[in-house]
Chain A
Amino acid sequence: MSISVNMSVRLGSLELSNPVVTASGTFASGREFADFVDVSRLGAIVTKGVSLNPWPGNASPRIAETASGMLNSIGLQNPGVEAFVAKDLAWLVENAAGTPVIVNVSGHSVDDYVGVIERLECEPSVAAYEVNISCPNVDEGGMSFGTECVQAARVTAACRAATRRPLIVKLTPNVTDIVAIASSVEAAGADALSLINTLLGMAIDAESRRPKLARVVGGLSGPAIKPVALRMVWEVARAVEIPVVGMGGIMDGTDAVEFMLAGATAVAVGTANFVDPTATMRVLDGVTEYCHRHGVERVADLVGALGA
């Protein structure tokens, strides 16, 4: 390891010391991983989904294992933004002062999203927002905000108006044309995009003839979805000007490098945290090692560097 690698990357005005961040909902707000991970080494901590009021989440069972993946229907259970500030943010301020905190925002209506952001604007420890537009839009019959360009742009524009902090919009992969959604969101003022959220899936227990999840359907994550995620990151990164945070099945440094080559400026580690609580550190070390081995002086040089 002769050369030293510049690992920093930028998501709009947000500078990260390295490209490895956590995927929302798989790392809580960091505290649970403190025994395994030096959270100050993370590029950023993306928190679990935070809503205006407490959400109870879905009935159990909430998870099911599938081939190289898992389904979840946690349902964004969270105690609401006030409790988030009091507990999670307080812990982060004390234990991860140097690590940018990106709050993942959930909502069932445009007002919900804006409400969370407004509440957090006065909290100096919040570095950026990641708006999860995969949430069901209750005003519009429950289809997710993220499956339709106009709705996706509406949420984005409203959040944009509520903050000058970096605004990342997280896209759902359950769409015909991810590039169209990405472009709408970019036009509506997003500073960055993150993708992919989970693929809608289902599992059945043949013996009992029942769905494995109480909610019947849930979100598929893990290595199984990596090919779909890479394809979408590649398509989107070529089509938009703003940076992309790539995720979907990243288990090690090589996976992370693949996402960067496809066009991701940063990468998020999700399901891998359950497989190995030290996964974020392994991914970071793996990317660094790759850069050394390939003589890459700035990790940002990998972004979109896919050859033909």
Chain B
Amino acid sequence: MMIEELKPIIESLIFVSEEPMSIRQLVAILEGESAEDIEAACEELGREFNERGSGLELRQVAGGYRLATRVEFSEYVRRYLKAQPSARLSLAALETLAVIAYKQPITIPEILEIRGVTSTSAIKTLLDRRLIVAKGHKQVVGRPMMYGTSKEFLIHFGLNDLSELPNLEDFEDLMSS
């Protein structure tokens, strides 16, 4: 294969790899190609990334080549990552959210009672993400705060209102076949 042909193949391989891609690995995948040609293709690929002012660069790190964002754009990347905690919740947070959604309004001690573990940091996460809101104090000893789901919760899960939460019957509909 010509070096020109090798380049895009190597590019896609480095792109999908989770670990830096070594010349040795590339030689193994690209049967019949010499280590020299492969190395030359890598070098050229890296040079091209630099020359065209790409947002990415081909870095040579311990053990091989990897693609990474260029340092000068790290500010934007950081900004993106920070604004990112979108769709994912830890299992603890998701459990807490589920309990709140189905048992609202509910206090922290009551959540503890159901989950069997403290949920304070999960509740903080959920409050930060605005998936839950405080719903006033419960009129019992200690007047603990009650929590319920927010409008953002409905939007996040694509619900019009809480009555659209699936119930046991919906689930059984799926099981009975």
A and B held together in a complex: no
Question: Which B residues contact A (CB, under 8 angstroms)?
Answer: none
